[in-house]
Amino acid sequence: MDINEAKRRAIELAQQLNYHNHRYYVLDDPEIPDSEYDRMLRELQGIEERYPELLSIDSPTQRVGAAPAGKFEEATHLQPMLSLGNAFTAEELQDFDRRVREGLGTAGLVAYSAEPKLDGAAVNLLYEKGVLVRASTRGDGASGEDITQNVRTIPTVPLRLQGAGYPARMEVRGEIFMRLAGFASLNQRIEDEGGKPFVNPRNAAAGSLRQLDSRVTAGRPLTMFTYGIGEWEGGGKPDSHTELLATLARWGFAVSPDASLVTGYQGCLNYYETMQQKRPDLPYEIDGVVYKVDSAALQEELGYVARAPRWAVAHKFPAQEELSVIRDVEFQVGRTGALTPVARLEPVFVGGVTVSNATLHNMDEIERKDIRIGDTVFVRRAGDVIPEVVRILPERRPDSARHIELPNSCPVCGSDVERIPGEAVARCVGGLYCKAQRKEALIHFASRRAMDIEGLGTKLIEQLVDADLLRTPADIFELTADALEGLERMGPKSAENVIAAIERSRHTTLPRFIFALGIREVGETTAKSLARHLAGLEALVAADEDTLQGTPDVGPVVAGNILRFFAEAHNREVVSRLIDLGITWDEMPQVGDSDSQFSGKTVVITGTLSEMSRDQAKELLESLGARVTNSVSKKTDFVLTGENPGSKVEKAKKLGVTVISTTEFSKMVNF
């Protein structure tokens, strides 16, 4: 494909990936299997490798992901919990091994630590002086949900480490899961009590961890295998992953008994085939194996890409497939008006889950696969998600099979449906008049990374929209406690808490406000760029296409979306109302301001900051034009350090990087 075709496809893929990230991580309601997500991500990575000019810093390939659900307290990881790249074939595994050897500049065989990839829930355990002080879910990789009380009930999780020699502060990563025998016993007990049993161990483990009553979790047969670490402050790290696992085992952690040290590509492949043979007899479920370069020094030399380490890969087992029949197709409407066709299937049991629906993505995919209502289809599932329709069986197509037609009007509000030439996605043009779009837009506006209105979540917003109490984001700031009290699960105290959270959110930052408006293609990074490179909101509203495209990360497509958003009178009216209702933010220095010592500089934050949170420091630095990264290198300009900073400070001193304390930083920025 040429550059224009590649650009259109990259935009389409980014939209789909961002949507499915949200469904998976925020809504706990995924629509596609991991295999389909991985396919789209790899396709986008391929386009960006071929056309580097299309790579933007807010691309899904540059993120870890997405935000936590917010039902528990938020917990920020000291080191990000990154994803792993995937290999699905022997050829892709061979490519991984080749990249590792090329990255190390060696033609020799590389030693890998190999272990089963458990099908459970990833967790991060924080130990201080050998004592468990916090446990959290993976979340979006940067922060998750605090589930400490629940994790404390799991027998295989040490509350205090055994032996000696552990660091002053350490993050331990692992997978919490249920053994098959325990899962069967739990389901039998649930059925005996008249309840609905879980369909698979992964659902049971994840559901048990997210119980608000830890006594319920204590009654569930959960266990954990440890597979790695995050932050490590004080003391020397083991020299290899194999040694690390042995060390963690000495300190009281359970590690996989099937972990093994292998050599080279063939050693990895032999291990994969061995585990595939053992899989039916294992006492727990796995969905593949993981290989990690064993040497810690070589891991550091290889480093990371934005969302994954270069020294590790997950080798997935083949996805599971079954046959089903498409009984009907419905169209769902998202925040931007995108209509997503969803196949209603004859219920079929695939990989431990009864499946009755699957996304068909868009009309282009339907036409490409020639899918019709009444077709018998291959349904593929990989992991605990809604499956994909892989292909049809034309020989089984009945005479009554019907073509799937894009509706002319929105199934929610009746507005016209528009499909722009060259775009795969069709959209309802109703905007906030459409209740489906209104709900999603308001959920986005109130979300943690936007206006951060605690307590104003999905269910409450849906009730408020259905009751016609919310039509635009500005209506949020005219809500009263009396109006909220009449809603489901809203007593006087809960209503007061929501109103207080709304009041707190009136003072925000300009990047958050821009992001909260929900302009198509304007993510957090682009919102920050717009805020830094323009004089303020008025300049953004008045900007022409040339001005917008002068901002980093803003190309013609994003500029067009911004222009169309502010060209709508009702959008400008909502923005004006929000300002009139008291939304404020501190003025941001523009990039290039001579007053900013951090403009264009690279900064690393380490340790516990005393005068502000890490998020506050990062947001402040970015507003001053700095780039905040996780690792210290020769390109680092400053290391901002707090208490218990760990090895990053020593590395900075060796490289001659300027180290500043929180107090010094506060004086430099007048915080």
Which residues are designated catalytic? 117
Q: What's the token pair of residue 642?
A: 């707090």
Q: What's the token pair of residue 655?
A: 């490289």
Instruction: Name the region of 307 (left: φ>0; alpha: ψ -120 to 50; beta: rest).
Output: alpha
Residue from 267, 381, 368, 275 nearest 322 by CA: 381
CA distance 119 to 203: 10
Give the side-chain half-sphere CA count within 13 A for 252: 16
CA distance 88 to 91: 8
Residue from 442, 424, 422, 423 nearest 434 by CA: 442
Q: Which amino acid, one-letter code, is at 493?
A: K
Q: What's the token pair of residue 169?
A: 């502060």
Residue from 59, 520, 541 nearest 530 by CA: 541
DSSP code of residue 24: I
3-state secondary structure of 272: helix
CA distance 431 to 571: 10
CA quadruple 610, 615, 621, 623: dihedral positive or negative? negative
Cα–Cα distances in angstroms (integers) from residue 95 to residues 88, 182, 290, 313, in the given order: 11, 39, 15, 11
Residue from 140, 142, 56 nearest 522 by CA: 56
3-state secondary structure of 151: helix
